[in-house]
Structure 1
Amino acid sequence: MRVNNRICNLNTSQADEEEEEDKGEEEEEKVRCDGGDRSFDSRSRALQVVLPDDWETTAEVIRETGRKVLGVSSGRRKEDKETWWWNEEVQDSIQRKRLAKKKCDMDRTEENRQEYKELQRRVKREVSKAKQKAYDELYTRLDTREGEKDLYRLARQRDRDGKDVQQVRVIKDRDGRVLTSEESVQRRWKEYFEELMNEENEREKRVEGVNSVEQKVDKIRKDEVRKALKRMKSGKAVGPDDIPVEVWKCLGEAAVEFLASLFNRVLESESMPEEWRRSVLVPIFKNKGDVQSCSNYRGIKLMSHTMKLWERVVEARLRKVVEICEQQYGFMPRKSTTDAIFALRILMEKYRDGQRELHCVFVDLEKAYDRVPREELWYCMRKSGVAEKYVRVVQDMYERSRTVVRCAVGQTEEFNVEVGLHQGSALSPFLFAIVMDQLSEEVRQESPWTMMFADDIVICSESREQVEENLERWRFALERRGMKVSRSKTEYMCVNGREGSGTVRLQGEEVKKVQEFKYLGSTVQSNGECGKEVKKRVQAGWNGWRKVSGVLCDRKISARIKGKVYRTVVRPAMLYGLETVSLRKRQESELEVAELKMLRFSLGVTRLDRIRNEYIRGTAHVGRLGDKVREARLRWFGHVQRRESEYIGRRMLDMELPGRRQRGRPKRRYMDGINEDMKLVGASVQDAEDRDRWREMIRCGDP
Structure 2
Amino acid sequence: MTQRRQRNNCYCRRITHEEVRMALRKMGRGKAVGLDNILIEVWKCLGEEGVRWLTFLFNLIFKTGKMPDQWRSSVVVPLYKNKGDVQCCGSYRGIKLLSHTIKLWERIIETRIRRETQVSINQFGFMKGGSTTEAIHILRRLMEKYRARNGLADDDNTQITIEDQLVPQAGWCRWRASRGVLCDRRFPSKLKGNFYRVAIRPAMLYGTDCWAIKKRQARKMEVAEMRMLGWMCGNTRLDRIRNVVFMERLGVASISHKIKVGRLRWFGHVKRRETTAPVRVVENLTVEGKRGRGRPKLAWDEQIRHDLLELHLYEDMVQ
Q: 1:300 to 1:609 in 2, by over 3 A?
A: closer
Aligned to 1:305: 99
Counterparts of 2:216 and 2:316 in 1: how far apart (Å)? 30
8 Å CA contact 1:352–1:528 kept in 2: the answer is: no
Q: 1:621 to 1:284 in 2, by over 3 A?
A: closer
Q: CA deviation at 1:652?
A: 1.2
Q: CA deviation at 1:626?
A: 0.4
Counterparts of 1:340 and 1:325 in 2: how far apart (Å)? 13
Counterparts of 2:48 and 2:251 in 1: how far apart (Å)? 43
Q: CA deviation at 1:273?
A: 0.8
2:11 is aligned with 1:213: yes
Q: 1:645 to 1:321 in 2, by over 3 A?
A: same
Q: Which amino acid aligns with 1:227?
A: K
Counterparts of 2:244 and 2:91 in 1: how far apart (Å)? 44
Aligned to 2:6: none
Counterparts of 2:84 and 2:179 in 1: how far apart (Å)? 22
2:288 to 641, 658, 663: 658
Counterparts of 2:286 and 2:225 in 1: how far apart (Å)? 38
1:552 to 169, 182, 190: 182
2:254 is aligned with 1:627: no
Task: Write 1 or 2 for the structure with the bigger share of helix.
Answer: 2
Counterparts of 2:240 and 2:36 in 1: how far apart (Å)? 55
Counterparts of 2:12 and 2:48 in 1: how far apart (Å)? 29
- Note the aligned Cα RMSD (angstroms): 3.4
Give per-residue Cα distances to partners, 1:5-39, cap 9 Å, x unaligned.
xxxxxxxxxxxxxxxxxxxxxxxxxxxxxxxxxxx
Which stretch of structure 1 is more off in the superposition, 332-341 or 296-305?
Answer: 296-305
Counterparts of 1:657 and 1:320 in 2: how far apart (Å)? 37
2:179 is aligned with 1:347: no
The residue correspondences of 1:14-25 to structure 2 (distance < 5 A) are: none
Q: CA deviation at 1:298?
A: 8.7
Aligned-partner SS, 1:531: coil
Aligned to 1:47: none
Q: Which amino acid aligns with 1:234?
A: K
Give per-residue Cα distances to partners, 1:453-503, cap 9 Å, x unaligned.
xxxxxxxxxxxxxxxxxxxxxxxxxxxxxxxxxxxxxxxxxxx6xxxxxxx
Aligned-partner SS, 2:283: helix
Give per-residue Cα distances to partners, 1:407-426, cap 9 Å, x unaligned.
xxxxxxxxxxxxxxxxxxxx
8 Å CA contact 1:578–1:629 kept in 2: the answer is: yes
Q: CA deviation at 1:679?
A: 0.9
Q: Which amino acid aligns with 2:233?
A: L
Q: CA deviation at 1:551?
A: 2.8
Aligned to 2:246: 616
Aligned to 1:171: none
Give per-residue Cα distances to partners, 1:595-639, cap 9 Å, x unaligned.
111111111121222111011111111111001101111111122
2:297 is aligned with 1:667: yes
Q: Which amino acid aligns with 1:557?
A: F
Aligned to 1:540: 170
2:219 is aligned with 1:589: yes
Q: Which amino acid aligns with 1:645?
A: T
Q: CA deviation at 1:308?
A: 2.8
Q: CA deviation at 1:558?
A: 1.6
1:531 to 141, 148, 158: 158
Q: 1:541 to 1:214 in 2, by over 3 A?
A: same
Counterparts of 2:25 and 2:77 in 1: how far apart (Å)? 29
Q: Which amino acid aligns with 1:262?
A: L
Task: Write 1 or 2 for the structure with the bigger share of strand.
Answer: 1
Aligned to 2:3: none
Counterparts of 1:256 and 1:567 in 2: how far apart (Å)? 45
Q: 1:537 to 1:250 in 2, by over 3 A?
A: farther
Aligned-partner SS, 2:150: coil
Identity level (%): 35
Q: 1:242 to 1:603 in 2, by over 3 A?
A: farther
The residue correspondences of 1:473-512 to structure 2 (distance < 5 A) are: none
8 Å CA contact 1:630–1:677 kept in 2: the answer is: yes
2:42 is aligned with 1:261: no
Q: 1:283 to 1:315 in 2, by over 3 A?
A: same
Q: CA deviation at 1:590?
A: 0.8
The residue correspondences of 1:46-195 to structure 2 (distance < 5 A) are: none
Aligned-partner SS, 2:119: coil
Q: Which amino acid aligns with 1:333?
A: K
1:228 to 7, 27, 41: 27
Q: Which amino acid aligns with 1:346?
A: R
Which runs of 5 or more structure 1 residues have no equivalent in the other structure?
1-211, 357-495, 497-525, 692-703
Q: 1:316 to 1:593 in 2, by over 3 A?
A: farther
8 Å CA contact 2:27–2:40 kept in 1: the answer is: no
8 Å CA contact 1:580–1:670 kept in 2: the answer is: yes
Counterparts of 2:314 and 2:43 in 1: how far apart (Å)? 51
Aligned-partner SS, 2:27: helix
Q: CA deviation at 1:684?
A: 2.6
Q: 1:565 to 1:313 in 2, by over 3 A?
A: farther
Size of the aligned set, in residue pairs, is 300
Aligned to 1:603: 233
Larger radius of gyration: 1
Aligned-partner SS, 1:332: coil
2:109 is aligned with 1:314: yes
Give per-residue Cα distances to partners, 1:649-672, cap 9 Å, x unaligned.
222122122222333342221122
Counterparts of 1:260 and 1:566 in 2: how far apart (Å)? 49
Q: 1:324 to 1:559 in 2, by over 3 A?
A: same
Aligned-partner SS, 2:124: coil
Counterparts of 2:199 and 2:92 in 1: how far apart (Å)? 24
Counterparts of 2:283 and 2:300 in 1: how far apart (Å)? 9
Counterparts of 1:592 and 1:350 in 2: how far apart (Å)? 29
Which runs of 5 or more structure 2 residues have no equivalent in the other structure?
1-9
8 Å CA contact 2:125–2:131 kept in 1: the answer is: yes
Q: 1:568 to 1:300 in 2, by over 3 A?
A: closer
Q: CA deviation at 1:257?
A: 5.4
Give per-residue Cα distances to partners, 1:345-404, cap 9 Å, x unaligned.
111111111117xxxxxxxxxxxxxxxxxxxxxxxxxxxxxxxxxxxxxxxxxxxxxxxx
The residue correspondences of 1:674-689 to structure 2 (distance < 5 A) are: 674-688=304-318
TM-score (norm 1): 0.39
Counterparts of 2:272 and 2:216 in 1: how far apart (Å)? 31
Q: Which amino acid aligns with 1:583?
A: I
